[in-house]
A and B are shown apart, each in its own frame.
Chain A
């Protein structure tokens, strides 16, 4: 026997289940209860930088879109600052950098409007390319999945990004790069998530 370290243990995760909307997006479940739902406005009206939209679907192992997913985004502002005491500085009034969206019950499509984030400090050396952290929960997902959205018009920054470079298989890095398109003057990035298949999205243990 030896001394006890006396750390507590993290509470185990359980699936968000099919009715996650009741708790986190009750309007989508079909009722109005709160003065305001949280997470629909990521960046507020005063955020500087390029206004963008990001859209996608989450595809299951059978190749079908998952229609009961909830996704949360976490990002820096255009200057690379997070809205947090350790975020590196001040952000624009109304910028939270956090968003919450659900997939459409019929199509599985999700999308959110934000500003394109700036580069952020890397852990050890250099800078991280502009990216958005994404957290995905749904019925059938036992522990929320973490991934990152990068941008295909940031080739040089992506090539130097310490997290992308940690992925041993270069072709898998492409699963994290959103594709930029111009839709009648609106910039839309496409980011589909694949749970399985040879193009399975890279998920992180963060």
Chain B
């Protein structure tokens, strides 16, 4: 049996370092020793497989998945859509994408969130879907509101949606956040600014996509997600090209 073909090494320059004092919580929650680098074994190139039986079709529609019959959450109706690709620009099909977010007022439906903006009775704030055979995914939701958080006393999170993506191997596992084009809070955010590379930050900002809007109904933003790419085959002492 041949060795498993590895994922390309994660480019840590694109990611935030573990210790980012501007985001205070990271200080006590960051390892001090260097990570030990591993070549992928079967344990890392494999990962959980999900199917359509795991989720329901309504799960990707946050406008309706927690709303009372004939009601909708308050807020700007939006579509988030795009593709999950790998670094070789190949689509990642049939992979699970999960999202969560605050409501239009910036309040999370979470027992630990005490922000004074109200809970929306028609908005849960989470969704999930599987990419199709072309790596395509979409959600319908409301645009989340900005909210304050305790870091400095006057820090505000830009409007954002949290995303969790699996890929085909456990080494591709990723959690990130999506921001919205034009939001003046993005570049003031200590969590955004944990990422040192401005080009990498830009990769987290969804673009307004008028071509994908539903006229007179719902506005759209496009957000592509890139997971680690993988070598095609690895022969002894020689890389087979892609």
Contact = CB atoms under 8 A, between A and B. Distances in A.
B28 interface: yes
A interface, over-half SS:
loop
A205 B31 contact: no
B interface, over-half SS:
loop
A56 B36 CA distance: 22
A6 B66 CA distance: 42
Contact of B109 (A14, A29, A83, A142): A29
Given A9-B226, A10-B227, A140-B28, A86 B48 contact: no
Q: How large is the interface on A (under 10, 10 to 19, 20 to 34, 35 or more residues)?
A: 35 or more
B42 interface: yes
B36 A135 contact: no
A163 B41 contact: yes
B41 A120 contact: yes
B126 A131 contact: no
Given A22-B125, A86-B42, A96 B36 contact: no
Interface string B34-57: 011111111111111110001110
Interface in B89-133: 89, 96, 98-100, 108-113, 124-126, 128
B108 A22 contact: yes
A97 B50 CA distance: 12
B157 to A, nearest CB: 9
A200 interface: yes
A96 B27 CA distance: 35
B58 to A, nearest CB: 9
A178 to B, nearest CB: 16
B216 interface: no
Interface string A122-142: 111000100101010111111
A105 B109 CA distance: 16
Interface string B169-202: 0110111110000000000000110110101110
Contacts of B128: 23, 34
B203 A167 contact: no
A82 B124 contact: no
A31 B124 contact: yes
Contacts of B46: 74, 82, 84, 86-87
B11 A10 contact: yes
A10 B110 contact: no
B229 A88 contact: no
Contacts of A98: 47-48
Given A7-B88, A17-B162, A33-B126, A142 B48 contact: no
A19 interface: yes
A139 B177 CA distance: 13
Contacts of A30: 109-111
26 contacts: A9-B11, A12-B197, A15-B175, A15-B191, A22-B110, A23-B99, A29-B108, A29-B111, A30-B109, A30-B110, A31-B66, A33-B66, A66-B29, A74-B47, A82-B46, A84-B48, A86-B42, A96-B48, A123-B3, A133-B44, A135-B170, A141-B30, A142-B23, A195-B28, A202-B36, A204-B37
The 9 closest A-B pairs by CB, nearest first: A23-B100, A140-B25, A98-B48, A140-B29, A84-B46, A61-B28, A142-B16, A205-B35, A30-B111
Given A8-B226, A82-B42, A84-B49, 17 more contacts: A10-B174, A10-B226, A12-B14, A12-B15, A12-B201, A14-B204, A19-B162, A20-B162, A22-B125, A23-B100, A86-B46, A88-B42, A96-B48, A133-B170, A142-B20, A196-B30, A202-B33
